Amino acid sequence: MSLIILDRDGVINHDSDDFIKSPAEWEPIDGSLEAIARLNYAGYRVVVITNQSGIARGLFDVDTLTKIHSKMRRMLAQVGGKIEAVLYCPHGPDDECSCRKPQDGAYLELSSRLRIDLKDVPAVGDSLRDLQAAQSVGAKAILVKTGKGLNTLEGGIPEGVAVYDDLAAAVNSLLEATD
């Protein structure tokens, strides 16, 4: 079985500069849930690694985050998809934690939990910090143009990063390469 790592906001669901603070604000990007279901059907384990500094900022609490993720999982189940795990960093940008992307702590935790090397594991994100965290553990960083993706692309990205319009296009390419 293969593994893929996804960022959440801007990759699976629409992002907001005001943060996603409630289940009602969590809305999937067209085609993203179906793309995850296609990954599952092709034998991929799907894991989300996401920064959720809204917790540290007092905008929402862990219980609310759990409800947001429950909505995501329910909507995924309706199209035949599932996410195996969600690892999140609740810290703010000034907390100097190792789990907040671009640091690689959450990736290392995943590697330890699953007892696997993340080398060449696809990791899809919409920000430079997503790409940097993935590359720091040898994962294959992929940028999508949804969310903050276009701004990230304009600001410059590391060499060798594949770029796709959205998660569905990235999954199409990934699955075609493994056929």
At residue 7, does pLDDT exceed 90?
Answer: yes
At residue 68, does pLDDT exceed 80?
Answer: yes
The alpha carbon of 159 is separated from its chain's Cα centroid by a whole number of angstroms, namely 20
Q: Which secondary structure element, helix H or strand E, spans residue 66, and what is its range?
A: helix 62-78
The pLDDT value recorded for residue 143 is 98
CB-CB contact of 141 with 131 (8 Å): yes
Known catalytic residues are: 7, 9
DSSP label at residue 29: P
Determine the straight-line distance between the first and last CA of the chain, rounded to whole angstroms. Answer: 14
Domain residue spans of the chain: 2-177
> In a 10 Å sphere around its CB, with 0-12 CB exposed, 13-18 middle and 19+ buried, how is residue 73 labelled?
middle
**pLDDT 10s digits, 92-148:** 999 999 999 999 999 999 999 999 999 999 999 999 999 999 999 999 999 999 999
- Would you place residue 1 in the very low, low, confident or very high pLDDT band (cuts 50, 70, 90)? low
**pLDDT 10s digits, 143-173:** 999 999 999 999 999 999 999 999 999 999 9
Average pLDDT of the chain is: 96
Q: How far is the C-alpha of 130 from the C-alpha of 152, rounded, in Å?
A: 10
At residue 179, does pLDDT exceed 80?
Answer: no
3: three-class secondary structure by DSSP: strand
φ, ψ for residue 159, nearest 5 deg: -65, 145
Give Cβ neighbours of residue 35 (< 8 Å, ≥ 6 apart).
167, 168, 170, 171, 172
Beta strands in the chain (DSSP E): 2-6, 44-51, 85-89, 122-125, 140-144, 162-164
At residue 177, does pLDDT exceed 90?
Answer: no
The pLDDT value recorded for residue 178 is 74
* CA dihedral (168, 170, 174, 179) positive or negative: positive
CATH number, domain 2-177, options 3.60.20.10, 1.10.645.10, 3.40.50.1000, 3.30.43.10: 3.40.50.1000
Stretch 31-58: mean pLDDT, rounded?
97
At residue 51, does pLDDT exceed 90?
Answer: yes
Stretch 67-95: mean pLDDT, rounded?
97
- Would you place residue 13 in the very low, low, confident or very high pLDDT band (cuts 50, 70, 90)? very high
